[in-house]
Amino acid sequence: MFDAVPGAVLAPVSAALCPAAEEEGERVLCVRYLLKAEPSPGLLPRLLQPLAKRDLVPDRLRAGREGAAMRVEIAVTLPEGMVHLVAGNLRSVVGVVRLEVEHGRVTG
């Protein structure tokens, strides 16, 4: 389902997408969270909650069912300090069985 090779470098994204983090001197990263989860009606809103509570909007969200599992890709540009916080929240969502995090530095 995913069109990317695991471990591939993400295309650079303009730093203008997250100017507040740049002004504070914190590195901004383009991050992709790749998840495998058990399908359920409330899964997608629960996966977006860790972003919403930090005022983050995903650059891309893809979801699809593969047999008995859901594959979800969430791409977002965020400050480096939030990467592990969002990952921890995503891992704790009921039904998530695997999470991979890929990131690259935003160039501007």
3-class SS at 35?
Answer: strand
Rounded distance between C-alpha atoms, residue 59 and residue 95, angstroms: 23
Q: Would residue 81 count as lying in a domain?
A: yes
Stretch 70-75: mean pLDDT: 98
Identify whether 38 is part of a domain.
yes
Pairing of β 28-37 and β 69-79: antiparallel
10: in domain: no
Intra-chain end-to-end CA distance of the chain, in Å? 30
Predicted confidence band of residue 12 (pLDDT cuts 50, 70, 90): very low
Q: Give the pLDDT of residue 105.
A: 67
Q: Token match 């480096």: residue?
A: 80
Q: Is 43 helix (H, G, I), strand (E, B) or coil?
A: helix
Asked whether residue 8 is domain-assigned, the answer is no
CATH at residue 98 = 3.30.70.260
Tokens of 8: 């591939």
- The pLDDT mean for the chain works out to 83
Q: pLDDT band for position 108 (50/70/90)? A: low
In a domain, 22, yes or no: no
Percent of the chain with pLDDT over 90: 69
In a domain, 45, yes or no: yes
Confidence at residue 80, expressed as pLDDT on a 0 to 100 scale: 93
What is the mean predicted confidence (pLDDT) over 11-17? 46
Closest CA to 96 of 88, 106, 108: 88
Per-residue pLDDT at 69? 97
Whether residue 49 is contained in a domain is answered as yes
CA 94 to chain centre: 17
Asked, for residue 6, whether it belongs to a domain, the answer is: no
Q: Which domain holds residue 89?
A: 27-105
Total number of domains constituting the chain: 1
